[in-house]
Amino acid sequence: MHGTWAGTGNGGGGGGGGGGLRGFAKLTNRPPPNQQQTGCRDPCAEIPLCRAIVTLILGGLLLIAGIVITALHYSGQLQDEDTGTVGPVLLCLGFVFCLLGIVWIPILRRKEARRQGTDFYEAQAERVRLEAARQKELAETERLHGRHPIV
């Protein structure tokens, strides 16, 4: 039963029976996002900036195609009525995708830096916990034996 809503009883969120939005965001028995039922992995999962770079390249290609089609239409080499609309639409879509890719890259870099910082602080906290446990054990041994243990 993949993708059933947990806790709602009716498979959805709103309407009748006072079910409300309880359990709205929680899915049960769902495969991990990078590995669906086929067992295929997302190739962009290993490279942090992969999707942003692909978006940026796609935006650049759309932008160039929009510029070329618009220039050819307004120079008179393309006489079809549809090219008058397609060129500016591709131009706008290309601009939007380029802007999205340009904004997304610094966000992903900041996120990766924060994740690496978190790993560093977790390692530091683990060292502090281990040292505190060692000090506690030494204090307990000293209390029981009344002298300093041989370390």
Residue 8, pLDDT above cutoff 50: no
Q: What share of the chain in percent tops pLDDT 90?
A: 26
CB 94 within 8 A of CB 62: yes
> Within a 10 A sphere around the Cβ of 26, how many other Cβ atoms?
11
pLDDT in tens, 27-85: 445 555 555 556 677 767 667 788 889 999 999 999 999 999 988 888 888 777 777 78
Say what the pTM is: 0.51
* Residue 60 DSSP label: H
Rounded-to-integer distance, Cα 19 and Cα 119, Å: 40
**Distance (Å, whole) CA 85 – CA 66:** 10
Structure confidence by residue, pLDDT tens digits, 104-132: 999 988 888 887 777 778 888 888 999 99
C-alpha to C-alpha distance for 69 and 63, rounded to whole angstroms = 10
The pLDDT of residue 27: 47
What CA–CA distance (Å, rounded) separates 97 from 52?
A: 10
The residues near 69 (Cβ < 8 Å, ≥ 6 apart) are: 78, 83, 86, 87, 90
* pLDDT at residue 115, as a whole number: 79
- Indicate the pLDDT class of residue 147, thresholds 50, 70 and 90: low
